[in-house]
Structure 1
Amino acid sequence: MSHDPQLRIPATYMRGGTSKGVFFRLQDLPEWAQTPGPQRDALLMRVIGSPDPYGKHTDGMGGATSSTSKCVIIGPATQPDHDVDYLYGQVAIERAFVDWTGNCGNLSTAVGPFAISNGFIPVDRIPENGTVAVKVWQKNIGKTIIVHVPIRNGVVQETGDFELDGVTFPAAEIVLEFVDPSDDGGDNGAASMFPTGNVVDDLVVPGIGTLRATMITAGIPTIFVNAADIGYRGNELQGDINSDSAALQRFEAIRTAGALRMGIIREVAEMASRQHSPKVAMVAPPMDFVSSAGKSVAADAMDLQVRAMSMGKMHHAMMGTASVAIATAAGVPGTVVNAAAGGQVGDAVTFAHPSGLLRVGAQVTNEDGHWVVRKAIMSRSARVLMEGLVRVPDPR
């Protein structure tokens, strides 16, 4: 066993939206971790504290939840007319695995501030007071995200009065634009936002039965089902689901069946390497409920209820990428999401999640008989929690 000193790597610990993670500049990583592969994965797992059979991340920077077991690598832009490349790794908690198959919409918020504060944006683009639009290339999924970062007195503004349900304290508002956030091309051409070619399907789930489901790839591949069809009200909180192992198995069965139907996997065994996507969510019409913070939320404040699963557990709020999927599906007549929202078709939707409410805009249009989404917009916030050097034993 090696007794060498720990590695000392420049890093920033940041909150973005309702998530937080460890951010690195690509050039600050050890040379052997600057390219994809097992050595990079081993380093990031050791930073987070995974795999941890105790499920606590006591010996690392992770928080032992899907929202806090994350690493981000920011590098110079490889695409024309972009500012940075953004690579996201979702680190498994109890097993040795890093999932690179998707994006984190919440941490996307923090990419803009990080890029500005770490020298990726030319000084002449940063006003004394105003906003900088940071154009981000999301490498995991090959999509563009524009992060509108407020600037005050020449530096990133972090404090403010913008409140985000699921985050305890207010901060400065950051507007995110997800550009052309759905998949395109493939066997169904422009219709591939709905991989089956349908806005709603009868999804056969072994051990459960046949469920009406909308399967969409906007933001992140997501399978939507009606809460009532699987025995729920739709306004449940984390404790109602995450303490029920049988319920978690049912959601995973739905996720697996949907992944097969969407063509994401060819056989069930492949799900072991896809903990991050696709997502599965249940929807329900508006109803009064009490959030996880004890706040009463009235039915007339929302268009629908949504509860989503992330890494095998119900999310405490809502993933940013799944929020894009929700807003997009809500704007397409016939989806289960649209139906739960009472058939509303508009450019924005307000949905309830366990922590409260979120409003997301989506520019959804029918072009030549195919539904497409050109842009999704939402407001989040971000803040640096700590910066300096992360210390980690050399995992090689």
Structure 2
Amino acid sequence: MTHAPQLRIPATYMRGGTSKGVFFRLQDLPQAAQVAGPARDALLMRVIGSPDPYGKHTDGMGGATSSTSKCVIISEASMPDHDVDYLYGQVSIDTAFVDWSGNCGNLSSAVGPFAIANGLVDPARVPENGIASVRIWQANIGKTIIAHVPISNGQVQETGDFELDGVTFPAAEIQLEFLDPADEGEGGGAMFPTGNLVDDLVVPGVGTFKATMINAGIPTIFLGAADLGYTGTELQGAINEDKAALAKFEAIRAHGAVRMGLIASVEQAAARQHTPKVAFVAPAAGYTSSSGKRIAAADIDLLARALSMSKLHHAMMGTAAVAIGTAASIPGTLVNRAAGGGEREAVRFGHPSGTLRVGARALQVDGEWTVTKAVMSRSARVLMEGWVRVPADTL
């Protein structure tokens, strides 16, 4: 009996923000996986260890959470005035599916360091000491991200004293600029696809909810925590251990996706798990984070909780943070109201692991809202590098 050998593929396992994933250079993938399609999806699922009915990812690199079931493909820039292309795949845990519909804001912070370390950025643009600005084309959504990466002695600086709630150890700070983050490619080409800052979202069998539906960073449906029976201080256990609550959130997500023009029917939501996100917000209040850290109401502008891949996120997705910052800057949205109303160019919100500050400046032009960029700080670090192995009969 013959047995298939294992393929040996160069890869780097990286943390970016509060997520981690397996990074590849496009040129290092097997030929069949260098183009989009079933072969690529099959490879990435096998790398992560999906689909796994046990929900553990024991036979793969995934961590069986939405934050750790991720793959990234980096290649030479296809767009002028950019350094690299960045393609992100969210791998489903228990179904045979890779969602390519959105970006990962957290892993965006690891793209610049990976690109520099792998020679994809012109060495002339990398200082011996200082900051290297890496111009990234986010290929999933067709947007530009600029990562400001610290450099020490000609190498990416990974260690430092920047602390990010949701990450245990400090590291070097990487500032990210998400340029023109409104997702004009979907939902009718507007930041607010329904044309309203607040809508009544009807979810048959569940209820009617006030909702702000926005395309910025990632398509997101914002709800009021009180309307759902929550305070906004909830941690993961309060949501993820409640099957009825998770089913309600998924119904809201599916019907919201239809209202946003992302899908034609609620039945299509199962094949689009990564987007849109559902989040709920509340006015600032004190609470104890998942690490035991006490968060004072005076230290934040509002509370925010978000679900990713049908589970409450342990911290906050980077792209959802962009959506929060953008919505907070626009008077009248549910996020802005939760933050106290008025005009603002930055907001600090409380999430399950602590706090996060994000800046955004919105403008109204000819009656339409637009935002030029959103800014936040993250950190990134190489966890392991070498080769990942998968059975050759995967492809």
Q: TM-score range by the shorter chain?
A: over 0.9
Distance, in Å, in 2 between the alignment partners of 1:187 and 1:221 is 9
Secondary structure, aligned partner of 1:271: helix
Distance, in Å, in 2 between the alignment partners of 1:140 and 1:32 is 20
Secondary structure, aligned partner of 1:264: coil
Tell me, which stretches of 5 or more residues in structure 2 are unaligned? Answer: none
User: What one-letter code is carried by the residue in structure 2 that aligns with 1:393?
Assistant: P
> More deviation in 39-48 or 343-352?
343-352
Residue 341 of structure 2 aligns with which residue? Answer: 343
- Confirm or deny: 8 A CA contact 2:12 2:385 kept in the other structure: yes
Q: Could you report, residue by residue, the CA deviation over 1:93-152 in whole angstroms, capped at 9, with x for unpaired residues? A: 001100000000000000000000001012222111001100000010000000000000
User: What one-letter code is carried by the residue in structure 2 that aligns with 1:177?
Assistant: E
Residue 379 of structure 1 aligns with which residue? Answer: 377
Distance, in Å, in 2 between the alignment partners of 1:294 and 1:185 is 41
Aligned mate of 2:294, from 293, 296, 317: 296
The 5 Å alignment of 1:276-355 reads 276-355=274-353
Task: Kindly indicate whether residue 46 of structure 2 is the aligned counterpart of residue 7 of structure 1.
Answer: no
- The percent identity for this pair of structures is 72
User: How far 1:344 sits from its partner (Å)?
Assistant: 3.8
The 5 Å alignment of 1:188-199 reads 192-199=190-197
Distance, in Å, in 2 between the alignment partners of 1:26 and 1:65 is 25
- Confirm or deny: 8 A CA contact 1:330 1:344 kept in the other structure: no
User: How far 1:12 sits from its partner (Å)?
Assistant: 0.2
Task: Kindly indicate whether residue 178 of structure 2 is the aligned counterpart of residue 178 of structure 1.
Answer: yes
Residue 163 of structure 2 aligns with which residue? Answer: 163
Residue 358 of structure 1 aligns with which residue? Answer: 356
- Confirm or deny: 8 A CA contact 2:187 2:262 kept in the other structure: no
User: How far 1:185 sits from its partner (Å)?
Assistant: 7.0
User: How far 1:183 sits from its partner (Å)?
Assistant: 2.4
Secondary structure, aligned partner of 2:330: coil
The 5 Å alignment of 1:67-146 reads 67-146=67-146
Residue 273 of structure 2 aligns with which residue? Answer: 275
Residue 45 of structure 1 aligns with which residue? Answer: 45
- Confirm or deny: 8 A CA contact 1:308 1:314 kept in the other structure: yes
Q: How many residues align?
A: 394
Residue 234 of structure 2 aligns with which residue? Answer: 236
Residue 22 of structure 2 aligns with which residue? Answer: 22
The 5 Å alignment of 1:203-218 reads 203-218=201-216
Distance, in Å, in 2 between the alignment partners of 1:111 and 1:344 is 35
User: How far 1:210 sits from its partner (Å)?
Assistant: 1.2
User: How far 1:184 sits from its partner (Å)?
Assistant: 3.0
TM-score by length of 2: 0.98
Distance, in Å, in 2 between the alignment partners of 1:366 and 1:55 is 45
Q: Could you report, residue by residue, the CA deviation over 1:328-373 in whole angstroms, capped at 9, with x for unpaired residues? A: 0001111111111110421100000000000000021111221111
Distance, in Å, in 1 between the alignment partners of 2:96 and 2:57 is 13
Distance, in Å, in 2 between the alignment partners of 1:310 and 1:392 is 27
> More deviation in 257-266 or 158-167?
257-266
Distance, in Å, in 2 between the alignment partners of 1:24 and 1:363 is 34
Distance, in Å, in 1 between the alignment partners of 2:298 and 2:10 is 47
Distance, in Å, in 1 between the alignment partners of 2:251 and 2:166 is 28
Distance, in Å, in 2 between the alignment partners of 1:117 and 1:134 is 12
Secondary structure, aligned partner of 1:351: strand
Distance, in Å, in 2 between the alignment partners of 1:284 and 1:389 is 45
- Confirm or deny: 8 A CA contact 2:141 2:185 kept in the other structure: no
